[in-house]
Chains A and B, each alone.
Chain A
């Protein structure tokens, strides 16, 4: 029984396996050290896990010896653009749902993961090209996101649950979704079928065709979101709901329906972000989405919480900062992102895309 007591917490020790970059964002650099992965990463765990006998990390850390070479900066910016594209998809999605409903949705990462697994089903089991699989993945994300909002959050909000408790709720949702994925798909890692690739060289920047594809998808999505917000009635209603829910309601906008639509759209973006993230990481594990959730949040915050254009700007900043920091400390590049986020929160809490935008918005509405 003693064994059972502990074995169920610790699980059998797992051999380190290539996880290439699911903790980082970039899959193609190849010089990153491999991080051991624990199948139960990211779940809520009982406390006994503290200090479990974990497999030792793979020996031999890469370090750049502390010298920042100028020649590394340009390629890093190249990688940073890819990272930014992925983060931008997530951050815009996250910020849209935050702006229309004020929910800090921890389950966003789980929706990303779920869509990535849907894309895996379509891509590997039905043999569909991965770029076409983006469509069902986005649909799955949209349906899931809207269902979570309508089925859970809207109900809690309607009875006046505090926004703080909603974080607990969303954490529970995230745990449920992630563990159902893990239960069905298994804790192991999966890989999409992507055609063999010859990298492009543009100056000292190296991109694989999928990375170019990722950037194209991201740019297309950003333009689509821009068009949606600027030129459609729904977009206008979303902006109104975000800015002044009460006023919007008294102007005849059905805020609840707008929120529902906003959550579906952001779920679609989460889906696309999840798939391109897994494409770029080259592996898919049940914590793929949760691992980058806080980087996505950082981008949203750096840009200004609740502002779609700010999120795009924030993603650009976060992606490039994280890759530049990776030149110095490959393991701790996210710390640089978090430091950036902390500085922004203290110095300019409304984000980079701040006061001017709000004033313009108010004038326009």
Chain B
């Protein structure tokens, strides 16, 4: 294989690993616990920025063309771990504010505005993380030590990603198969009933948000060290919806579904549209139509397979199996009885 092909495949694989981790984190939060976290992407960004400033070294070392807070050169596993902790703390902070209202659609709107506000502030506070231009030249883990060449290093990073993915899967799988997940699912399907049975809904939501925030931050740290650059344009709130789309297409509430959905949305759809025939060399028209095709494909998936590619297996007691399982995430909407015009 030529180096270019290898690099292409390496990029796809690393991205898939990163999106997989983030998808699992979002699934834990939304698919299992029912927290509509529309600010999800900022936790990933927090992890990425943390990892970046922990590896970039002091500002002056880079010729001072970009400005940022701090600046250390920690060896590899540390930045990603600290990023996870920072992400969890950040998610807790956001959660303390955004999870205040009882209604979940209000929480969602609060999350959305937190996401937008953070993007605006980071873009305009050039002293923090270099503003809109973003950070670049972030060193790669062990990049100076290993002497593997471009493609060789790429495969090394794929291995690194695989290790992190495996670790995250271990954690997520443990959580989703633990009794705690049943409590979270009960809370998702009917928060009132769960609260009546003694679940502190707000506390559980906060804990699961912090966990998911930490995992998302790990995915961000992993990504930023691969692409060695990070800017606000890459984490607009649209990205959050793309993750939601991925887990909805794959099937909410189960890790295999999320893995498949991430593959379909990020790898098949987003990459696949690039191979659509181009239109008479008008590149901007072709690019726009490719983007539109992404929308059409997502619509088709939601129409043809609304329960997701791999639907969640719902546990039922035998005696009650005649009682239809409650529709998953719907109740917050239907419970919201209508004010007048």
Contact = CB atoms under 8 A, between A and B. Distances in A.
Chain A contact residues, majority secondary structure: helix
Interface stretch (A69-77, A113-121, A212-220, A338-346): A338-346
A2 B327 CA distance: 45
B247 to A, nearest CB: 10
- Report the contact-size class of chain A (Cβ under 8 Å from the partner): 35 or more
Interface in A55-75: 56-57, 61
Contacts of A38: 233
Interface stretch (A43-51, A122-130, A133-141, A316-324): A43-51
A161 to B, nearest CB: 6
B268 interface: no
A95 B241 CA distance: 22
Given A162-B329, A179-B288, A342-B97, A57 B131 contact: yes
Interface in A1-45: 1-2, 5, 8, 11, 36, 38-45
A131 interface: no
Interface stretch (B2-10, B78-86, B193-201): B2-10
A338 B117 contact: yes
Given A162-B329, A294-B113, A243 B340 contact: yes
Interface string A300-318: 0100111110000000000
Interface in B306-341: 306, 327-330, 333-334, 336, 338-341
B268 to A, nearest CB: 12
A224 interface: no
A102 B340 contact: no
A163 interface: yes
Given A56-B133, A162-B329, A346-B100, A48 B117 contact: no
Interface stretch (A83-91, A181-189, A198-206, A275-283): A181-189
Nearest to B241: A171
Contact of A96 (B15, B231, B341): B341
A298 interface: yes
Contact of B120 (A57, A172, A235, A331): A331
B270 interface: yes
A335 B339 contact: no
Contacts of B126: 57
B256 interface: no
* Most chain A beta-carbon contacts within 10 A, residue among B7, B105, B112, B295: B295
A232 to B, nearest CB: 12
A349 interface: yes
B18 interface: yes
B164 interface: no
B101 A54 contact: no
B183 interface: no
B227 interface: yes
B113 A298 contact: yes
A186 to B, nearest CB: 6
B18 A47 contact: yes
Contact of B306 (A57, A165, A180): A165
A238 interface: yes
A238 B100 contact: no
Given A165-B306, A172-B295, A51 B224 contact: yes
Contacts of A341: 109, 113
A182 to B, nearest CB: 5
A186 B117 CA distance: 29
Interface string A218-233: 0000000000010000
Interface in B276-293: 284-285, 287-289, 291-292
Nearest to A56: B133
Contacts of A194: none
Given A1-B7, A242-B339, 11 more contacts: A44-B294, A57-B132, A162-B327, A172-B302, A238-B341, A242-B338, A243-B338, A307-B341, A331-B123, A341-B113, A358-B339
26 contacts: A1-B8, A5-B11, A40-B291, A43-B291, A46-B266, A52-B229, A54-B231, A56-B133, A99-B341, A163-B330, A171-B295, A172-B294, A176-B292, A176-B299, A179-B291, A183-B284, A183-B292, A235-B341, A238-B341, A242-B340, A294-B116, A305-B339, A306-B341, A338-B116, A357-B339, A361-B339
Interface of B: 2, 4-5, 7-8, 11, 15, 18-19, 36, 48, 97, 100-101, 103, 105-106, 109-110, 112-114, 116-117, 120-121, 123-124, 126, 131-136, 223-224, 227-231, 233-236, 238-239, 241-242, 244-245, 248, 266, 270-271, 274, 284-285, 287-289, 291-292, 294-296, 298-299, 302-303, 306, 327-330, 333-334, 336, 338-341
